[in-house]
């Protein structure tokens, strides 16, 4: 892609590295929904997946390339190991995109060479060079990552980078794969690459890092000061282990402190020009969408997008903010798309007003999804007088989330009290269309509901997380329930929103069980065909 040394390229890997976070597995339609929002956000590159990893990954990358990879849209990228079959699959998957990139990688640290690859440095040099040249036969846009660069011998790293650039790599990505480095070390690594790789001016320096020590964003900002011009990050910082560098934190750090960073990019210190192409007003919406679809909740005190990020409880802080926001706020909540809760619709609002408001909020829905969401809206409007934008987002995200349509919750009823045994009765419609009813006693109403559902579905699982959040304030607030189930080594998430928290809890559980049950059915089919 054409680069500008005075601008930072944002490479989003939410759909590839972010999805590797336990429990964050997404289906194809969910990935496409997120990819569309990433395009609205303004990311430069979407790493849509690892095409060779599975038929599902290949299909997802290909679908995103076809739908989102338009001429004026982002570059669509697929990851590939430094192997011909991987690269060939990546090339085929990104082919529908107007602008496609192959991102290939090979470890360079001595510990990886000895224990994982079992190859010599000379062998690694040869393979890296050969595979980059092979990838170049499919597309001009090639990215190479020396895996575990943060623990690699710098002198060997320089050799690898020089060879892959000569072979055709247009971007060289420096990953802190295990989140080990500190900002000064990471900045020094980038500085050393700039000074010691003779042809480095022919490629963009990118960085990728994990947050094991909580230093990923700080490391990236130090890398920018030393010459990195592409940042590989994820929405909400999701990813393996402690996650990746968070896109929203990087973008807003560069936005709020651009006078500080301007000189490092060759700009006038007082330049007001944005340092990235990101539409910051789409940040909060994107964060919510990814959280809802992955089932990964955002901690309240999370920088930029946490619910407490712009909240003030201290009397001194409140007094200062009321007099002038700048006393205790370094950025405006509206700059990330967070607006005051406005009453936008009520129970007398029609379908056209509903459709128009959803479009203003950035939702693009099929007629079928719109109809389902409108029914839910009317149900809630009859119970809740004031419908806010946040309520609408919760309802729509709940309705359009893609889960296998296997078991369907038809009815849930509970009985509980201070001197009574919590009892629940549930009715579910099974995949064959038969209604099944059962009841159970639990330690509380939700526990009773889950035990009754388990008796009907009869799929072994372990509930490892149950979380309830209020979407808005007030006694009639919509509650969002997120749960995570574990079966064997995999985690399945479910989410639902409703003014009745018991109903939301039941629906979230059924959603997660449907994902688990669907995975078991798919596994059985694969065994039969094999």
3-class DSSP string for 104-160? EEEECCHHHHHHHHCCCHHHHHHHHHHHHHHHHCCCCCEEEEEECHHHCCHHHHHHH
For residues 277 and 371, membership in a common domain is answered with no
Is 39 part of any domain? yes
CA pair distance 354, 344, nearest whole angstrom? 9
Q: Determine phi and psi for 411, rounding to 5 degrees.
A: -160, 140
Is 329 part of any domain? no
For residues 359 and 390, membership in a common domain is answered with yes
Instruction: List CB contacts of 403: < 8 A, sequence separation 6 or more.
Output: 494, 511, 514, 515
Question: Considering 294, 313, 328, which residue would you say is the last residue of a domain?
Answer: 294
What pLDDT is recorded for position 309?
80
Indicate if the alpha-carbon torsion angle 428, 432, 434, 437 is positive or negative.
negative
Question: Considering 358, 382, 400, which residue would you say is the last residue of a domain?
Answer: 400
Q: How far is CA 5 from the centre of its chain?
A: 27
For residues 473 and 412, membership in a common domain is answered with yes
Closest CA to 457 of 516, 401, 519, 497: 516
Single pTM value for the model: 0.82
Q: How far is CA 17 from the centre of its chain?
A: 9
Is 321 part of any domain? no
For residues 381 and 419, membership in a common domain is answered with no
What pLDDT is recorded for position 326?
56
The helix (run of H) or strand (run of E) holding residue 408 is: strand 408-417
Closest CA to 216 of 262, 261, 191, 249: 249
CB 164 within 8 A of CB 206: no
Q: How far is CA 63 from the centre of its chain?
A: 18
Q: Could you tell me the CATH number of the domain that includes residue 221?
A: 3.20.20.70
Per the structure, the complete domain to which residue 521 belongs is given by: 408-529
For residues 369 and 437, membership in a common domain is answered with no
Show the beta-strand stretches assigned E in 458-517.
Answer: 462-470, 479-487, 490-498
Is 276 part of any domain? yes
How does pLDDT run along the chain (530 residues), one tens digit per residue?
A: 555 667 999 999 999 998 877 667 788 888 999 999 999 999 999 999 999 999 989 999 999 999 999 999 999 999 999 999 999 999 999 999 999 999 999 999 999 999 999 999 999 999 999 999 999 999 999 999 999 998 999 999 999 999 999 999 999 999 999 999 999 999 999 999 999 999 999 999 999 999 999 999 999 999 999 999 999 999 999 999 999 999 999 999 999 999 999 999 999 999 999 999 999 999 998 998 898 888 788 888 999 998 788 764 444 444 454 455 555 567 888 888 876 545 567 777 888 888 887 877 767 777 888 888 888 888 888 877 677 777 787 777 766 665 677 999 999 999 999 889 999 999 999 999 999 999 999 999 999 999 999 999 999 999 998 988 877 667 777 888 988 899 988 888 888 888 899 999 999 999 999 989 988 887 777 677 65
CA pair distance 101, 91, nearest whole angstrom? 8
For residues 388 and 494, membership in a common domain is answered with no
Helices (H), 141-296: 154-167, 183-196, 216-225, 247-256, 258-261, 283-294
Is 305 part of any domain? no
Is 264 part of any domain? yes
Helix (H, G, I), strand (E, B) or coil at 248: helix
For residues 140 and 252, membership in a common domain is answered with yes
Is 309 part of any domain? no
Question: Considering 294, 329, 362, which residue would you say is the last residue of a domain?
Answer: 294
Domain count of the fold of the chain = 3
Is 428 part of any domain? yes
Instruction: List CB contacts of 492: < 8 A, sequence separation 6 or more.
Output: 23, 25, 461, 484, 485, 486, 512, 513, 515, 516, 519
Instruction: List CB contacts of 293: < 8 A, sequence separation 6 or more.
Output: 26, 30, 33, 34, 397, 401
What pLDDT is recorded for position 313?
47
CA pair distance 252, 261, nearest whole angstrom? 12
Q: Which residue has the tokens 């459709």?
A: 355
What pLDDT is recorded for position 316?
45
For residues 433 and 502, membership in a common domain is answered with yes
Closest CA to 113 of 85, 143, 155, 153: 153
What pLDDT is recorded for position 23?
67
Measured in residues, the chain has a length of 530
Structure-token pair, residue 426: 């549930």
- Measured CA to CA in angstroms, residue 471 lies from 291, 465, 482 at distances of 13, 19, 12
For residues 76 and 198, membership in a common domain is answered with yes
For residues 112 and 36, membership in a common domain is answered with yes
Pairing mode of beta strands 408-417, 420-429:
antiparallel
What pLDDT is recorded for position 525?
72
What pLDDT is recorded for position 389?
75
For residues 395 and 418, membership in a common domain is answered with no
3-state helix, strand and coil shares in percent for the chain, rounded to the nearest 5: 45, 20, 35
Indicate if the alpha-carbon torsion angle 251, 255, 260, 261 is positive or negative.
positive
For residues 283 and 351, membership in a common domain is answered with no
CA pair distance 98, 426, nearest whole angstrom? 50
Closest CA to 306 of 321, 291, 319, 324: 291
Q: Could you tell me the CATH number of the domain that includes residue 494?
A: 3.30.160.270
């Amino acid at each position: 892609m054409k680069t500008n040394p005075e601008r930072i390229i944002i490479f989003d890997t939410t759909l590839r590295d972010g999805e590797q976070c336990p429990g964050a597995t997404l289906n194809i339609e969910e990935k496409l929904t997120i990819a569309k929002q990433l395009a609205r956000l303004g990311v430069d590159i979407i790493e849509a997946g690892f095409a060779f990893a599975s038929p599902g990954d290949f299909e997802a990358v290909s679908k995103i390339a076809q739908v989102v990879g338009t001429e004026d849209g982002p570059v669509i990228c697929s990851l590939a190991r430094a192997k011909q079959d991987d690269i060939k699959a990546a090339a085929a998957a990104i082919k529908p995109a107007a602008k496609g990139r192959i991102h290939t990688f090979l470890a360079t640290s001595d510990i990886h060479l000895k224990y994982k690859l079992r190859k010599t440095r000379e062998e690694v040099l040869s393979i890296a060079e050969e595979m980059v040249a092979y990838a170049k036969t499919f597309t001009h846009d090639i990215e190479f990552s020396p895996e575990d660069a943060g623990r690699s011998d710098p002198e060997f790293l320089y050799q690898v980078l020089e060879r892959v650039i000569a072979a055709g790599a247009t971007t060289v990505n420096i990953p802190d794969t295990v989140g080990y480095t500190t900002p000064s070390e990471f900045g020094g690594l980038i500085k050393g690459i700039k000074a010691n790789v003779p042809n480095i001016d022919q490629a963009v320096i990118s960085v990728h890092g994990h947050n094991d020590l909580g230093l990923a964003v700080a490391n990236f900002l130090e890398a920018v000061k030393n010459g990195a011009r592409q940042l590989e990050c994820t929405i909400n910082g999701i990813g393996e282990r402690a996650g990746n560098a968070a896109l929203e934190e990087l973008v807003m750090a560069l936005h709020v402190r651009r006078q500080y960073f301007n000189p490092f990019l060759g700009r006038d210190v007082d330049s007001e020009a944005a340092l990235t192409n990101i539409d910051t007003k789409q940040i909060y919406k994107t964060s919510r969408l990814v959280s809802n679809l992955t089932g990964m909740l955002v901690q309240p005190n999370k920088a930029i997008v946490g619910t407490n990020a712009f909240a003030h409880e201290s009397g001194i802080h409140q007094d200062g903010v009321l007099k002038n926001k700048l006393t205790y706020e370094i950025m405006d909540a509206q700059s990330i798309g967070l607006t005051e809760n406005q009453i936008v619709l009520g129970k007398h609002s029609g379908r056209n007003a509903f459709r128009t408001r959803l479009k203003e909020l950035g939702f693009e829905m099929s007629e079928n999804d719109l109809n389902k969401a409108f029914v839910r809206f009317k149900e809630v409007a009859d119970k809740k007088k004031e419908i806010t934008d946040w309520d609408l987002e919760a309802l729509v995200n709940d309705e359009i989330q893609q889960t296998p349509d296997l078991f369907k919750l038809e009815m849930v009823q509970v009985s509980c009290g201070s001197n009574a045994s919590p009892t629940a009765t549930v009715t579910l419609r099974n995949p064959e269309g038969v209604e099944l009813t059962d009841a159970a006693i639990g330690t509380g109403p939700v526990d009773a509901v889950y035990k009754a559902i388990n008796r009907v579905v009869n799929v072994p699982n372990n509930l490892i997380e149950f979380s309830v959040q209020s979407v808005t304030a007030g006694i009639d607030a919509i509650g969002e329930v997120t749960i995570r189930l574990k079966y064997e080594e995999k985690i399945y998430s479910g989410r639902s929103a409703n003014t009745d928290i018991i109903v939301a809890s039941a629906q979230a559980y059924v959603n997660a069980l449907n994902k688990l049950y669907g995975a078991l059915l798919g596994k059985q089919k694969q065994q039969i065909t094999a």
